[in-house]
Amino acid sequence: MVAVRTAITAIKNAPLLSALSITTIAFSLFAFGLFGLVALNIRNALQRVGDRVEIRAFVADSTPVEVLAIIADSVSRYPEVLKVDVVTQDQALERARQELGEFKDVFDGNFLPASIDVKLKPGARDPKTVQLVANRLRDYGIVDDVRYGEEWITQLYRLRNIAGVAGAALGLAFAAVAVIIIGATIRMAVLSRAREISIMRLVGATDGFIRRPFLIEGSIKGILGGLAALGLTYLAMRLLGQYLHFETVFFDRRLALLGVLFGALMGLMGSAVSVGRHLRQV
């Protein structure tokens, strides 16, 4: 309790320095938040595209519907498979007419092959799994051809991986910068109270006792900075959404809380490093 009071007093006694710390934390986290938001939105967009990943196994024209049903049933038991649809020749024609309305008069007769359409479960839409399932479908004698948009699935996943790695790397870099900035501002606070700390040590205060208020101070600044960054990120997203007419999603409550806690953690770490270094020196 004493430590909390001391920390709050310290922040009040140096309003300018505290405001500076909180602002720098807020901007570091803001940058971090923007990247997070971009990553989140790319992820969401990819997820929507990923929902459309589908394998189509075209079968020989003479295949009886009953055989198709038996194969579909056994395919639906693959662990990767979410859903299997049998599309007869008639249905294929109907679908083509719907999808390509302007050519509907061209489509006549049963020239489109029947197919078994396979949708995969969310965790199994990566290129490797898709190919694996496609190959198994190919093994059925009645299957003439298997299509699954090989090219674009690979591209999609490459894009997603690049976005993920870039987001994580930049995010970590910004987090590191934030920790250093917090460390520097807490170091200023530590130095401005160096005399007090030396007296504390002389009269027998433990390192833990000396450290505690600074750690609390750092955490409070981290939380305040985190909240400010959250506000800034939200504002930035709204503005971008308005100008770019782009539908975006914001962090849900859990992610937002995690962000603020991350701010607190950075504040704590920055303080711990600064105070630890000072205590080792004196």
Partner 1 sequence: MIRFDNVTKVYPRAAAGTAALHRVSFRLNKGEFVFLTGPSGAGKSTILKLLYMDERPSSGEVKVSGYSSMEARRRDVAKMRRRLGIVFQDFRLLENRTAEGNVAFALEVIGTPANKIPGRVSRALAQVGLASKATALPKELSGGEQQRVAFARALVNDPFVLIADEPTGNLDERASRGIFQLLRDINASGTAVIMATHDLQLVRSSEFRCIELNHGEIVFDSADSSTPLALGAD
Q: Where do contacts with partner 1 occur on this chain (CB under 8 A)?
A: 2, 195-196, 198-207, 209-210
Closest separation between CB of residue 168 and partner 1, Å? 38
Closest separation between CB of residue 258 and partner 1, Å? 35
Closest separation between CB of residue 195 and partner 1, Å? 7
Pick between residue 56 and residue 193 the one whose CB is nearest to partner 1: 193
The alpha-helical segments, DSSP class H, found in 107-206 are 127-138, 150-192, 194-202
Pick between residue 10 and residue 57 the one whose CB is nearest to partner 1: 10
Closest separation between CB of residue 12 and partner 1, Å? 13
Pick between residue 1 and residue 16 the one whose CB is nearest to partner 1: 1
Query: What does the radius of gyration of the chain's CA atoms come to, in whole angstroms?
Result: 30
Pick between residue 168 and residue 191 the one whose CB is nearest to partner 1: 191
CB-count exposure of residue 253 (10 Å: 0-12, 13-18, 19+): exposed
Tokens 């197919």 label which residue?
Answer: 115
Give the CA distances from residue 246 to residues 41, 127, 183, 209, 249, in Å, rounded to whole numbers and listed in that order. Answer: 10, 28, 38, 51, 10
For 97-110, b where at least 16 C-beta lie within 10 A, e where not — what string? eeeeeeeeeeeeee
Closest separation between CB of residue 275 and partner 1, Å? 14
Pick between residue 167 and residue 213 the one whose CB is nearest to partner 1: 213
